[in-house]
Amino acid sequence: MARQRKRKGDPVHGWLGLDKPLDMTSTQCVGALKRLLNAQKVGHGGTLDPLADGILPIAFGEATKTVQWAMDGEKEYVFTIQWGKSTATQDREGEVIVTSDARPAREAVEGALATFVGEIEQVPPKYSAIKVGGERAYDLAREGENFELEKRPVTVYEASVTDAPDADHVTIHVVTGKGFYVRALARDLAADLNAEGHIVKLRRTRVGPFDESSAVSLAEIEAMEDAAARRAVLDPIETPLSDTPALDIGPDGAAQLRQGRTIVLLPHLVEQWRAETPDPENRIALAMDSDTAVALGEVRAGRFQPTRVFQL
């Protein structure tokens, strides 16, 4: 019988709202934190480009089972467009492909920006991680391949101009749903204004419950005394699940769920779930044993059926 390979590191569980620095990839941040906390398993809840800084949720251990909820959460960005040049990547890293003397006034930008609020269709940038025929779009774009990406429905909850320091620059704040590309907004906004422009600065200020008020920088993590001190700043694994009804099923129910069994809910828990669920069609709930997350699952016919069990 083949011997099971032992994972390197310790079983660390929880979330960290990292304030990602410039000029680091999201993958590099994951690698650095895995080393600094001596963790077995680490992932992230939504990529940030090296040219962007700001909130990058990092999941450790069993928290990786809730990554999808972090990625689906609302996001906030603050970004600056420089007018006069469009680049292949829609940011300052790309090759300049078109220039223009047009410099839209702040009022014109505000008027055009208002048309992007709501449910819209957006064509993702060609320099993105979307897969086309099994290949990443950015790889095909770098190789000069000719391809088109399809429009996707996205939601913009808020969009406003926060600054226009000179004729060449405008700074914009947006609150968006999942799947939204800021670089695509900059591209489309410039086109609507008959101008050329690209992003020169981009910061993500919030991902769901992770925001600047509680974020920790990589430098702060590095300055902590040891791995144990770094783990002490982690948030619970259920942090991205704040909109999911949480039901305290007690130690007996927890023991059954950890074995993958369906449990019968007491009537008051069923009523609690009905009162707290934001969408009657969404049957998801979070089973808790006091302050410990036990499982995500579905409530059906008075029973809780586990779909993701947390081994804590």
Predicted confidence (pLDDT) per residue in 247-288, tens digit: 999 999 999 999 999 999 999 999 999 999 877 788 999 999
* Residue-range domains of the chain with CATH: 14-73+210-231 (3.30.2350.10), 75-95+104-207 (3.30.2350.10), 243-309 (2.30.130.10)
Q: Are strands 52-60 and 169-176 parallel, antiparallel or unpaired?
A: unpaired
Return the number of other C-beta atoms located less than 10 Å from residue 182's C-beta: 23
Residues 12, 61: contact at Cβ < 8 Å? yes
Which one of 19, 49, 53, 188 is the catalytic residue? 49
Where does 197-301 show beta strands of DSSP type E? 197-207, 210-211, 216-217, 246-248, 263-264, 284-289, 292-300
What is d(CA 106, CA 167) in angstroms, rounded to the nearest whole number? Answer: 9
Residues 63 and 13: beta-carbon distance below 8 Å: yes
pLDDT confidence of residue 1:
44
Checking if the pLDDT of 289 tops 50, the result is yes
Predicted TM-score (pTM) of this structure: 0.91
According to the model, what pLDDT value does residue 78 have? Answer: 98
Q: What is the pairing mode between strands 210-211 and 246-248?
A: unpaired
pLDDT of residue 7: 73
Please confirm, yes or no, whether 279 is among the known catalytic residues.
no
Q: Report the pLDDT value the prediction gives residue 52, as an integer from 0 to 100.
A: 94
As a whole number of angstroms, the distance between CA 266 and CA 271 comes to: 9
Q: By the 8 A CB rule, do 296 and 65 touch?
A: yes
Average pLDDT of the chain, as a whole number: 92
Which tens digits make up the pLDDT trace of 115-148? 999 999 999 888 777 888 777 877 777 877 787 8
Q: CB-based contacts of 85: which residues, under 8 Å, 6+ apart?
A: 96, 98, 99, 100, 196, 197, 198
CA atoms within 13 A on the CB side of 247: 34
